[in-house]
Amino acid sequence: MVPSEGTLSGSRAAVRRLAHRRGANFSLGFRLLPPEKRRAVYAAYAACRIPDDIVDEAEPGADREEIRRRLDGWAEEIERTFRGSPGVPATRALAEVLALYPIPKKALLGLVDGCRMDLERGRYESFPELERYCELVAVTISEISLAIFGTRDPQAKAHGRHLAMALQLTNICRDVGEDVSRNRIYLPLDELARFAVGEADLLAGRVATDGYAALMDFQCERARGHFKEANPLPASLAANARPAVRVMGGVYRRVLDRVQRDPRQAFGARVELPLWQCFTVVAAGILGRPFI
């Protein structure tokens, strides 16, 4: 059944509101896309945000089997959408853009697998283990986004992977305190040990130490390296997507700067950019400045 124009209009509005409400750092760049690509990105964002929220917004002590069932239900909804039978506003908006852009179903389902990992584990012994998680929850989103942005050369996927890793690692560095409140530690345990930071220290909020400062500097430098490797990405994209990508990367790189400058403060309060710096990022993106 083809949704009515009124139904589609409501679905478009729903995913747009979700993107602006929950993805403030991303939506700054989304606004620079041409209307058709912007509508597609809003739909894709919602399809990625919903399984993440199923896990992260569950009440403390919630039944894990029920959360798994909800994730399975979302995966089934994605399957139905690709068969042409979307059942909710977010997937109705997604179905509309699937006819225009080759968004990979595998990436959307891979993201659900990444969300399942958050139910199964809250620790990562080493960076290679964490990197696999990042592949599922972040690089998949790069693949979805590139399908919408449009690419000009075969290296775009590799460059996009670097930007996805940079953004996800920035999130990890920014959200250490928030993640600890959910009993999750995304900093590799072998690296905690290297800098003499214990799990118990993080869980108790004991971060006013030289060891924690050095640990976070190391983590931030890793993310910074991915930003540097992602610098060629905009040039490998369709021209009308380049400013948006530069702005999205630029926002996160400046968030990373603030976390690295004062990781102790970032542990206790979520880092946000002031309005003046948002304007600076937009100007840099429009002028074609590199991420780093």
Tokens of 87: 């059942």
Q: How far apart are CA 172 and CA 149, in angstroms?
A: 25
Nearest to 260 by CA among 248, 271, 274: 271
Residue 1 pLDDT > 50, yes or no? no
Contact 8, 92 (CB under 8 A): yes
Q: Is 123 exposed, middle or buried (0-12, 13-18, 19+ CB in 10 A)?
A: middle
183: exposed, middle or buried (Cβ count in 10 Å: 0-12, 13-18, 19+)? exposed
**6 pLDDT tier (thresholds 50, 70, 90):** low
| CATH number among 3.40.50.11540, 1.10.600.10, 2.60.40.10, 3.40.50.1110, domain 1-119 | 1.10.600.10
- pLDDT of amino acid 20: 80
**Residue-level pLDDT at 240:** 97
Give the Cβ contact number of residue 14 at 10 Å: 18
Q: What is the rounded average pLDDT of the residues 195-222?
A: 98
Q: Give pLDDT, residue 2.
A: 45
Average pLDDT, the chain: 94
What is the spatial distance between Cα 115 and Cα 58, in angstroms, rounded to a whole number? 12
Name the nearest CA neighbour of 285 among 244, 241, 226, 232: 244
- 3 state SS of 178: helix
DSSP state of 269: S
Mean pLDDT of 181-206: 97
Reported as a pLDDT band with limits 50, 70 and 90, residue 23 is low
DSSP state of 60: T
pLDDT at position 139 over 50: yes
Residue 168 confidence (pLDDT) above 60: yes
pLDDT band (50, 70, 90) for residue 19? confident
Q: Give the residue among 161, 180, 271, 169 at the shortest CA–CA distance from 216.
A: 169
pLDDT tens for 39-80 read 999 999 999 999 999 999 988 888 999 999 999 999 999 999
d(CA 43, CA 58): 23
Query: Confidence band (pLDDT; 50, 70, 90) for 10?
Result: confident
Residue 242, classed as helix, strand or coil, is helix
What share of the chain has pLDDT > 90, as a percent? 89
Specify the higher pLDDT residue, 14 or 145: 145
Q: Domain locations in the chain?
A: 1-119, 121-292
Q: What are the helix and strand counts (H, E) for the chain?
A: 16, 0
Give residue for tokens 């075969």.
154
Question: At the top level of CATH, which class does the domain 121-292 belong to?
Answer: mainly alpha
Is there a shared CATH topology between the 1-119 domain and the 121-292 domain?
yes
Give the bridge partners for 237, in sequence order: 151
